Structure 1
Amino acid sequence: MPTPTKGPRLGGSPAHERLMLANLSAQLFEHKSITTTVTKAKRLRPFAERLITFAKRGDLASRRQVQSVIAPRSRTNKGIVYELFENIAPVMANRDGGYTRITKIGNRKGDNAPMAVIELVMDPLSPKQAVVAEAEKAAEVAAPVEVEETTAPAEVTEAPAEETTEAPAAEASAEVADEKAEEAK
């Protein structure tokens, strides 16, 4: 799990802090969003994201490790582990990190403690990242085409010198590139 912080812990002992973070993460996975203090939310973020990373692996050892953290002796929390592995992890499969979002909402009325909402980011990746992924795939497909383009102008230059101009050579290489792109699809 994340390295423990130095200094005073949330609520006293390290064991109490560990149990509190386990309960907060269980509630986060159950309700997808919880309201807590900013300090607890900041401490909860790496703890919960680590559990989601285990859930993305999906194997039995990961399931047992998450089970030992969230629900060591509880039947009610086994449903939360199931929810994490079967519903939350597949949604987060394409995401490399940043599974949670913290939004500050102001101070609590009673003791003026700064409050925040921590929630799971269940939205799909941004359209910009999808375009970048498509561009990378196109670059992989275009890499072999570039090698063939270097051989294609050589064939065009073997034509008689009277007919060779720059414009037909450029058009021929563009046609070859278009044909290769259609074949790749």
Structure 2
Amino acid sequence: MPKPVKGARFGGSPAHERLIMANLATALFQHGRVRTTEAKAKRLRPVAERLITKAKKGDIHNRRQVLKVVRDKSVVHHLFTEIAPTFAERPGGYTRITKLGPRKGDNAPMALIELVTEPMRQVTTRATSTAESAKAETKRDAKAEEAAKAETEQDAKVETEQDSAEAAESTEGKADESAGDEKAEEKKDES
């Protein structure tokens, strides 16, 4: 048995609350959206989704169960023939609650509950594309790192070659100077 909801019920009695939910569900299926308070929208969502799930099955038993809640036969027909086939591929989440501003008279938080009309995105495709884009990004990063590493190594080689060339020039210059110094010393010794 479901656990009763704590706190005050909508309308005061359980029967009145069931009628409120039935009327809200009927209006939701008839118009596609209902503007109501946040509390009522949150309580309506599981009721409406359960009814849509029954309508997706489409047999007479489920039609009779939906008729217990939604008493208008034209709305039930609309639910079974038009609304349920649009949700055939969707495993759940048939409704959306959007919070609106507070109501002007009593400042009650308002919400809009509506049927989701967008087609379902393929989760596997999206996950695959995300994984592929992550792999591509990783490859790009690796290539960029390799290019930066190669550039750094090339700069280091150029600097090393320049340093060795400068060192060679300086040693040649020193050797020339030392040879010149030795000749000068020899001349001094001779004289």
**TM range, normalised to the smaller chain?**
0.5 to 0.7
Contact 1:58 1:85 in 2 (8 A): yes
| Equivalent AA in structure 2 for residue 15 of structure 1 | A
Q: CA shift at 1:95, angstroms?
A: 0.5
| RMSD, aligned α-carbons | 2.1
2:53 aligned with 1:53, yes or no?
Answer: yes
Q: CA shift at 1:6, angstroms?
A: 2.1
Q: 1:91 aligns with which of 79, 83, 86?
A: 86
SS in 1 for 2:125: helix
Question: Per-residue displacement from partner, 1:89-114 (whole Å, max 9, x unpaired)?
Answer: 00011111100000001100011000
Question: Per-residue displacement from partner, 1:68-92 (whole Å, max 9, x unpaired)?
Answer: 1110xxxxx1100000000000001
Flag the 1:131–1:58 CA change in 2: closer, same or farther, 3 A.
same
2:106 aligned with 1:111, yes or no?
Answer: yes
SS in 1 for 2:42: helix
SS in 1 for 2:105: coil
> Greater CA radius of gyration, 1 or 2?
2
Contact 1:105 1:116 in 2 (8 A): yes
Match of 1:16 in 2: 16
> Which stretches in structure 1 are left out of the alignment for 5+ residues?
72-76, 136-185
Q: Percent of pairs identical after alignment?
A: 60
Name whichever structure is richer in helix by fraction. Answer: 2
Match of 1:123 in 2: 118
Work out the CA distance in 2 between the residues paired with 1:133 and 1:53: 26
Contact 1:103 1:118 in 2 (8 A): yes
> Which stretches in structure 2 are left out of the alignment for 5+ residues?
130-191
Which structure 1 residue ranges, 4+ long, deviate > 6 Å from structure 2?
none
Q: CA shift at 1:3, angstroms?
A: 5.0
What TM-score results when the alignment is normalised by the length of structure 2?
Answer: 0.63
Contact 1:25 1:44 in 2 (8 A): yes
| Equivalent AA in structure 2 for residue 55 of structure 1 | A
Work out the CA distance in 1 between the residues paired with 2:56 and 2:63: 10
Aligned residue pair count: 129
What TM-score results when the alignment is normalised by the length of structure 1?
Answer: 0.65
Work out the CA distance in 2 between the residues paired with 1:62 and 1:133: 35
